[in-house]
Amino acid sequence: MSITVKLQTSVKALSNWGTESDPDQSYHTGNTDPRGFGHIGLMVPDVYAACQRFQELGVDFVKKPDDGRMKGLAFIKDPDGYWIEIFNAHSV
């Protein structure tokens, strides 16, 4: 299911304070088995310009805008390995 919302939106990042040094603390991105949460998407005015900037910053790509059959959208990884879809309104 994909939902595009054209309202002011915020993303709330939570931290489980105190777990940074807990050897038993773990997390799972959901992008490998067992599957679960997939990814969030960020709408940008220009996917190619955004991806150029991500590349300059050394961001890891799952999919670049012209890879595969679906052109004009990309997937990057955040520092924890979660996937982030980069798209614009014309590509959905």
Q: List active site positions.
A: 85
Helices then strands, counting H and E runs in the chain, come out as 1, 4
Please answer whether residues 59 and 77 qualify as being in contact, where contact means their C-beta atoms are separated by less than 8 angstroms. yes
Determine the Cα–Cα distance for residues 56 and 60; give it in Å rounded to an integer.
11
Q: How far apart are the first and last CA of the chain?
A: 12
Please answer whether residues 65 and 54 qualify as being in contact, where contact means their C-beta atoms are separated by less than 8 angstroms. no
